[in-house]
Amino acid sequence: MVRRNPERRAALLDAAIEVLAAEGARGLTFRAVDQQAGVPVGTTSNYFAGRDEILKRAGERVYERLVDEAVIADGLAGPKDRARVAELMHALVDRVAAFPTGFLALLELRLEATRRPELRDVLTRRIREDVDFNVGYHTKTGLPGDGTTVVLLWLALNWLIMERLTLPDLFTGEQRHDLVEALVDRLLAGQPAAVVGRKAADSTGSAP
């Protein structure tokens, strides 16, 4: 019988994310998750029907942990100019990089999805939801740029984050900062660079 305790289930998925990041998809076993979570052997198998299920749920769990309602509300405030977009993009990079095991686990899941159609379907659905949310959110904020701008930012920043986490010495922190600034400036060329008289918004270290 599959157990339903939501707190224990979430803790096991968090442990699965850590295992994926450290050992890769091949290292993700029920025993490894039990050990990482510090629970008795057999606990994970009581919560998940099989390895395929925990792979699929781990990907969803990463996105659950990245959602921050306070940051979403904060994004609706402030000036509607290129400088504000750049602030939010810097915050996004920092926020995802602050959860490195989550991002690395997603990379492992994407590779595994090339061999598992069901996992590919789950990740495609969940990541499409994330992209659609970001496009809708950007429109709601009234920030400059359209849906294509958002998707291009999403694609470019995902790769920049991957470089930061997998090859941290490839670019310096200053270079990564300048690349984000250049990306926003070039994608939003023609839009107001900054509202006259705006005050620099405080960096929250996070973004939707």
Per-residue model confidence as pLDDT tens digits over 105-157:
999 999 999 999 999 999 999 999 999 999 999 998 889 999 999 999 999 99
Query: Coil, strand, or helix at residue 171?
Result: coil
User: What distances in angstroms separate CA 63 from CA 56, 99, 119, 153, one per listed residue?
Assistant: 12, 11, 15, 18
Identify whether the C-beta of residue 161 lies closer than 8 Å to the C-beta of residue 103. Answer: yes
Structure tokens at 34: 């039990």
**In whole angstroms, what separates CA 62 from the centre of its chain?**
7
With a cut of 50, say whether residue 163 has pLDDT above it: yes
> CA nearest 78: which of 204, 201, 206?
201
Q: How confident is residue 41, by pLDDT bands cut at 50, 70 and 90? A: very high
| Mean pLDDT of the chain, nearest integer | 88
Percent of the chain with pLDDT strictly greater than 70: 88
* Mean pLDDT calculated for residue range 172-192: 93
Identify whether the C-beta of residue 72 lies closer than 8 Å to the C-beta of residue 208. Answer: yes
User: Which pLDDT belongs to residue 78?
Assistant: 76
Dump pLDDT digits (tens) for 63-100. 888 876 666 666 667 788 899 999 989 988 998 999 99
User: Which pLDDT belongs to residue 181?
Assistant: 96
Q: How confident is residue 207, by pLDDT bands cut at 50, 70 and 90? A: very low
User: Which pLDDT belongs to residue 65?
Assistant: 87
Q: How confident is residue 201, by pLDDT bands cut at 50, 70 and 90? A: very low
Q: DSSP assignment, residue 189? A: T
User: Which pLDDT belongs to residue 195?
Assistant: 61
- Is the model more confident about 96 or about 194? 96
User: Which pLDDT belongs to residue 58?
Assistant: 94
Q: How confident is residue 182, by pLDDT bands cut at 50, 70 and 90? A: very high
- Which amino acid, one-letter code, is at 204? T
Distance CA(109)–CA(101), nearest Å, equals 12
With a cut of 50, say whether residue 30 has pLDDT above it: yes
Distance CA(35)–CA(50), nearest Å, equals 17
**In whole angstroms, what separates CA 76 from the centre of its chain?**
20
User: Which pLDDT belongs to residue 16?
Assistant: 97
Half-sphere exposure of 82 (CA within 13 A, CB side): 15
User: Which pLDDT belongs to residue 64?
Assistant: 87
Q: How confident is residue 197, by pLDDT bands cut at 50, 70 and 90? A: low
> CA nearest 112: which of 25, 14, 30?
25
